Amino acid sequence: MDKVIREIDIDQIVRERAGKRAKYIPKWLTRLLARVIHQDFINAYLRQGRVGVDFCRGVPDYVGVTVDVVGKENLPDDGRKYTFVSNHPLGAVDGVTLGWIIGEHYDGKIKYLVNDLLMNLEGLAPLCVPINKIGKQARSFPAMVEQTFASDCHVIMFPAGLCSRKQDDGTIRDLPWNKAFVTKSVQHQRDIVPIHFEGQNSNRFYNVARWCKRLHLPNFAMALLPDEMYRSRGSHYVVRIGKPIPWQTFDSSKTPIEWGRWVQDRVYET
């Protein structure tokens, strides 16, 4: 595949997603958002022209973080296809790091199920299956998921769907995991590999997320994730890969939702 270079234009992205309401969005607001997400910092990386696993491989060095991988011997090499599920503490570095670790091990044969906004990163887009359950894509989403699990690619998922949140006891943990990774893995006889990514965002992120929930506001904390990545320079993270869980484990003794929460608990024990 030829290398693809495309810079992010937040003003254009916001206006395309706003549709007819775009005329009501002032320029100063999109300029502010461009500064918040560090558009120039991101675009400087995009201009390197990295694509796919190579895109993922370069991010930690560019951002300035280090990563240790524990349990890499648990990555299966038997030729079967697997579902890799992980907690989602950071929202950016954790995602690309797993793409690098798993993608490099399996010669690039991976697919993420990710927020459709990441399709604007064309270097990352070849690895992604976009998730947007509203709008035009909603009808095709189930078929896209089915096609992904039926493919010859390994699947990487963050079953919480959102970044981890700070709990009342002060611990950082994902929201309850959904059941799709269980049902689809059983349907396609994919064993599940649990992964725990050690890391956390700033208190500012968790406070904004908490107030958005309390006031029933949109998830404005998501807009802070690029800044969280930018501020993570000098951080060190640990990725722990657990032993594969056979798909036959997920029998009728629990519901798919209960099995999903069971795997989530296993991840935090990894």
DSSP 176-205: PP-SHHHHHHHHTT--EEEEEEE----HHH
The model carries a pTM of 0.90
H or E element at residue 256: helix 256-269
Residue in 194, 153, 189 with CA at minimum distance from that of residue 177: 194
Q: Quick one: average pLDDT of 5-34?
A: 87
The dihedrals phi and psi of 77, each to the nearest 5 degrees, come to -130, 40
What does R_g of the chain's alpha carbons equal in angstroms? 18
Of 124-128, 141-145, 177-181, 252-256, the poorest mean pLDDT is in 141-145
Check residue 2 and give its pLDDT: 44
Q: How far apart are CA 88 and CA 96, in angstroms?
A: 11
- Residue 142's pLDDT is 81
Percent of the chain residues topping a pLDDT of 70: 94
Contacts of 222 (CB under 8 A, 6+ apart): 91, 162, 163
Specify the residue for token string 């999109």: 30
Nearest to 266 by CA among 246, 237, 238, 236: 246
**CA pair distance 198, 70, nearest whole angstrom:** 11
The one-letter amino acid code at 227 reads D
Q: Please answer whether residues 50 and 58 qualify as being in contact, where contact means their C-beta atoms are separated by less than 8 angstroms.
A: yes
What is the rounded CA–CA span in Å between residue 153 and residue 107? 10
Closest CA to 98 of 78, 81, 120, 83: 83
pLDDT tens across 32-69, in order?
A: 999 999 999 999 999 999 999 999 999 999 999 999 99
Candidates 51, 43, 36; CA nearest to 226 is: 36
Please give the domain boundaries of the chain with CATH numbers for all domains.
50-269 (3.40.1130)
Residue 110, beta-bridge partner list: 154
The pLDDT-based confidence of 208 (bands split at 50, 70, 90) is very high
Question: Of 84, 31, 28, 42, which Cα lies nearest the Cα of 263?
Answer: 84
pLDDT of residue 263: 97
Residues 127-139, mean pLDDT to the nearest whole number: 66
Coil, helix or strand for 170?
Answer: coil
The alpha carbon of 118 is separated from its chain's Cα centroid by a whole number of angstroms, namely 9
Q: Distance of alpha carbon 142 from its chain centroid, rounded?
A: 18
Provide the sign of the torsion angle of the four alpha carbons 119, 123, 124, 129, taken in this order.
positive
Name residues whose C-beta falls within 8 Å of residue 135's C-beta, 6 or more positions apart in sequence: none
